[in-house]
Amino acid sequence: MEFLSEYASFLAKTLTLVVAIVVVLVVIAATRGKGRRGSGQLQVQKLNDFYKDLRERLEHSVLSKDQLKATRKAEAKAAKQEKKAPPSKPRVFVLDFDGDIKASATDNLRHEVTALLSMANAEDEVVLRLESGGGMVHSYGLASSQLVRIRDAGIPLTVCVDKVAASGGYMMACIGQKILSAPFAILGSIGVVAQLPNVHRLLKKHEIDFEVLTAGEYKRTLTVFGENTEKGREKFQEDLETTHELFKGFVARYRPQLDIDAIATGEVWLGMAAQERLLVDELKTSDQYLAERAAEAELFHLHFAQKKSLPERVGLAASMAADRFVLTWLSRLNQQRFW
């Protein structure tokens, strides 16, 4: 028993020491990381090399030694000829946007757009691979504004939708001069929705008062805990209608060929039906489009990677995991109509 007691005491002291060291390291990292938060690095990958590597790996497995030797010899000859008189190829800048409720990918998108605008011109093209079921109006409004920067600069913008571009996702997609969709991708949902629970009657049943004090008649229209009024509901609905009209006007501005009143009902359509309603221009996956472009242009994939500090990776890991969990379920609830 004495041995176990001493051993437990030793473990406690060791654990205390380890925890103290971790805390000190986190504090030091946090102090050193002040002022550098938000820094990151632009990563650039030439997709032509990616496609070339895929082909070469397949050739290595399929072709005989003589065939492979002849193929490599022909490629070397073509490369030598091209080196003497390099052709002027157009450039295609490829971006990805995987949207959640908060359109969190906007933080990277804004830097990627700033980078490509520093050298892209009207002879180039930007391809956005977009996947989003929508989310907060102001968040997707900012994300859309980043794409407007590309269009205003006179650079052709092509948006590829392989799975879903609905609500705020379509708000982004409509900015492209050309929208490509997979046959069974989901598009549309040009509408506005808001929902919240109200537990006022439950609180009242348990004789719990909840006071809502405001300065301004419509500072708070609907609440979770207070008693909602018909006047408040009417104002809230009016605000939704106003937002919907702004949404419709935004889409109509960039897709004037649409019958906006016919498609801005909040409905969604699969790619084939969406094409009939002019929500998309062509049925084609992003893989097919980029593979075709790689044969005639230089493709560059841009990704701005945020640097994470030690506290973010260690001390805030649980908080970030909880946030992701909540956002994931909110996204699922928001997109359950698409399943």
What is the set of active-site residues?
167, 219
Instruction: State the residue for tokens 């500072």.
Output: 219
Strand 282-283 versus strand 186-188 pairing type: unpaired
The residues pairing with 166 across neighbouring beta strands, listed in sequence order, are 188
Asked if 173 contacts 179 with a C-beta cutoff of 8 angstroms, the reply is: yes
Which amino acid type is present at position 332? Answer: R
81-85 contacts at long range (C-beta below 8 A, 24 or more positions apart):
none
Nearest by Cα to 44 from 304, 307, 308: 304
- Measuring CA to CA, which residue among 178, 187, 181 is closest to residue 257? 178
Residue with the two structure tokens 């050739």? 59
Copy the structure tokens of residue 244: 């919907």
Helix-helix angle 65-84:47-62, to 10 degrees: 150
Comparing CA positions, the residue from 225, 272, 331, 300 lying closest to residue 50 is 300
Kindly write down the DSSP assignment for every residue of 49-103, as one continuous string.
HHHHHHHHHHHHHHS-HHHHHHHHHHHHHHHHHHHHS-----EEEEEEEE--TT-
> Given its phi and psi angles, is residue 207 left (phi above 0), alpha (psi -120 to 50 degrees) or beta?
left
Question: Which residues are CB-neighbours of 146 under 8 A, at least 6 positions away?
Answer: 106, 109, 110, 113
